[in-house]
Structure 1
């Protein structure tokens, strides 16, 4: 009898996928955690997962020593992990190196560089025959101005290893350069593309892209971090981009030697031309992955677990519609004074799921990132336009009031 595989999963934040895996793999899930991420794991989540074996990596120690300590620890488990999954973008490098050291399937360091270093990524895209925006590594304001002199303002400036638009800026002129601290990180500047920005996700098994699921974005990520509606809409209808998404992703998977996993990519349609943006070998951010399950009518998280466990999933769809995740706004840091209850949101047209991360009285910290939110809803519809209209209805109905420390102090003084 074949023994079911045990999965080692990197776990640096609670997510829909990790919670799904906890329920779906009883006795066959081991968590890999990092000491530096302890503050991102709530006490409630740690209690919910306390029944699972979890190995904590101390990043201050040599990773080879931590891997040796893990091997001794895993040898005492009823069944040690034989497969590996890393859903984390910021810990891609250390997680994959750790998997390599303990003999589990992993991305090679060259592959990690292709999917983490945005300049190396775009170099590889071009080697594979894909168009990209013009770009350059930069370290000084003068180099950014020289680049802009060739392609014009605005330009996009980002750390080469950023994610979720953290520390990513659209610069409209040289006067904004004084506000950017360039000394501490490696940076990339690229031309600002027009057209329409899209996303696409896919599952890969034994080097084959099994299917590709496009997502429309009502607003671009750089507009989202400045306050625009934060939403993604999985498009299972014929409104998707009119070109071979699966073929594009297969070219990348083959060219990067990606054997298995979930990939998430952004690209631009400018007229009839496709420009590759960025790609990650991990689940999509926000609740994009869940959108695909609602839009196509299948167990998307189960299928994702299958490819990480070495199995080919049966992608059997029961429907075709548009479904999006709308991230609910978080207007600032402080104490939540009032927030619309989940049950009220569920009564709105098209809303099939509602999750609030905070309750009245909770302390919150807002960040300039594309995943900054007080919660989310999943909204369905027959078309992109219908989903977007319903999302705007949710925003009209949703209220959150956050009292800052300064406001609280002012109230006490009066």
Structure 2
């Protein structure tokens, strides 16, 4: 390895050691930082150049680290890996998450990352004789499969037993019990109904939750048998049955305080840990402010929490990774809730970074790569906190400006995620936020006072939605006869008399029930699942709660053979119906899903979309759901087409193309060179104002999309861009900046 004479930066300022001197030491046989230090004298002073030495060392390796990452929807590891030199990544993920990766990325798609056998076969086929050095998963759903694949491929990593103990809540409880760590008594159920027969094994109240899951999703407290019966007959019971996992029932812990401890483990030893106390116990508080503050160094609880964290790590057999341990302080001492072997959510990673300087995502990825972690904590003085501001269902009328909150004592950062006009769903997970505020103070007591001050000033004014998911009989529009009008939007490529036939089937169903329907058409490009997914998502963004979206597209050669018809409701109260061919993945990803069901016994006959499904759409619009809610469907089975950046998702009647891509920080009049595959199409001017007025006829321009912030529109001034350059829905465009303004 050589360094050009014109590029020889000083790496160690204390000893004035340059990069060329370090590479010379490496060429002479130095193989680690200690050896470099011994030969060159670098890193013997202030120590700040340690990371830079490590970067030079990693860059000197001739062979990159080959990583297999089993990922769901986590984007944070992608950021970290982009900054790690010499890593070749193969990603195993699901179609609905393909959009997270660039087109050139080596991505292996499977329907379910929890399906070990399918994952194994897919990875072996994709590797085609190539080797893997490490296997890593940043999510609970993929960690067991990642550990098994690592063991199968003979690479270092966490064992399958450790991964299972960190993700399967009942196995976790048994491992902690075996190590003598205090935990709540628990039993494993194959269905929530089984608790009625086994309740005598526990004491009421009881906490029910899926055996695998995160973010407090579907975690509920049941106080007695009567409340259990009520829960089983309602939507929460249906969701628990449809979650796709066994259920853990554990005794409710009467706690005085709830804590979490977040750390980094290398070689089975905790190399960093930070203890924090939640502002209030989390369970049942999704609609109220929450958050946590660091435990002061002189608090006696801190040492016990750190000690329990180390015991938990040993009990589950964890070799490396980030950790998030939940603990409860009771009248008789601490009880451990659970451990997750991944960085926490809900703003805690940033909370840890602000207080200690440690990036849990970066260190967990480096540990997975087998590289030295870079933990040199710089703990902030006093106590730090993060405050979660929850969403409330409805339309935002007013939210306190961020600058007003930043001006309050103790506030160090404000991240508001809502603005007036936004329509918010009710929170179903602890990671759903309207805003996140970071604070710091000299003591816990003063910090609590400052948090109360923030909550006194903060306002989120909500206008309730005109309808709710449980009562669709109230609509803002009504007919002259006073009967509410139900709105249905049909997203389809059946735009001729076929659409009229579908409308007729819906109207006939509505007349029989003395209801009135308003049916609208949104035409789709023929045979295009991509265009259908985009238009379904666009309709959901522009129509009011209670609207029923029926998506029906003639089947192309790209979709799966099976014909499962589903219906569901988004967190914002829109109902969607159609075949599970990928049309609803984008919608589910962006707006969230409250519930979803399968429509059984769909006849495999010509145009069942008219004869069988259209009447069902009408019944859903009229609120007649009882017979249609008997077959819960797992949300994670909703297919996603998995479009890559640059995909053309729509071409309008003027030939303007809507592209799934964010152009980034371009300036007005920057010139882009557009490409389709290996073919250069044309140059395009980036326009940020006066879009077409200042351009010459025939010029191609691009600008931030009028549909979604993360998209781009490309068009031709008084011309047809798509026809002129042969661009169609489903094409993938690329570009580079050819000339800056």
* Structures share fold, TM-score greater than 0.5: yes
**What is the aligned-residue RMSD (CA, Å)?**
3.5
2:195 to 137, 144, 154: 144
1:256, CA displacement in angstroms? Answer: 2.7
TM-score, scaled relative to structure 2: 0.48
Q: Is the 8 Å Cα contact of residues 290 and 301 (structure 1) preserved in structure 2?
A: no
Residue 62, structure 1, aligned to residue 62, structure 2: no
Name the count of aligned residue pairs: 399
State which of 208, 215, 224 in structure 2 corresponds to 1:173: 224
Residue 94 of structure 2: which of 35, 43, 46 is its match?
A: 35
For 1:105 and 1:349, the matched residues in 2 are separated by: 48
Residues 236 and 295 in structure 1, CA contact (< 8 A), matched pair in contact too? no
**Are residues 323 and 13 of structure 1, via their aligned partners in 2, closer, same or farther at CA, if it must alter by over 3 Å?**
farther
2:386 to 318, 322, 325: 325
The higher-RCO structure (CA 8 Å, 6+ apart) is 1
Structure 1 segment 54-203 matched on structure 2, within 5 A? 54-59=106-111, 62-72=118-128, 82-100=133-151, 104-139=155-190, 144-145=195-196, 148-149=199-200, 151-178=202-229, 179-180=231-232, 181=237, 183-184=241-242, 185-195=245-255, 196-203=257-264
Matches within 5 A, 1:200-215: 200-215=261-276
Question: CA-to-partner distance for each residue in 1:70-101, whole Å, 9 max, x for gaps?
Answer: 3249x5xxxx8744442212333344445555
For residue 235 of structure 1, the aligned residue among 284, 295, 308 is 295
Q: Deviations over 1:241-270 (max 9, x none)?
A: 154334333333333321111111112222
Q: Please, which of 378, 382, 393 is the counterpart of residue 438 of structure 2?
A: 378
- Tell me the alpha carbon deviations over residues 82-141 of structure 1, each in whole angstroms, 9 at most, x when there is no partner: 444422123333444455555554433322221122111111101111111111123467
Q: Distance in 2 between matches of 1:29 and 1:204?
A: 24
Tell me the SS of whatever aligns to 2:351: helix
Corresponding residue for residue 13 of structure 1: 73
Whole-angstrom CA distance in 1 between matches of 2:143 and 2:149: 10
Q: Which runs of 5+ in 1 are unaligned?
A: none
Of 322, 328, 338, which aligns to 1:268? 328
Q: Which runs of 5+ in 2 are unaligned?
A: 1-59, 469-473, 480-741
Does the CA-based 8 Å contact 1:235-1:321 persist in structure 2? no
Structure 1 or 2, whichever has the larger Rg, is: 2
Q: TM-score normalized by structure 1?
A: 0.82
Distance 1:100 1:343, change over 3 A: farther
The alpha carbon displacement at 1:403 in A equals: 5.6
* 1:53 Cα deviation from its structure 2 partner: 2.6
Verify the 8 A CA contact 2:157 2:368 in the aligned structure 1: no
Distance, in Å, in 2 between the alignment partners of 1:59 and 1:146 is 35
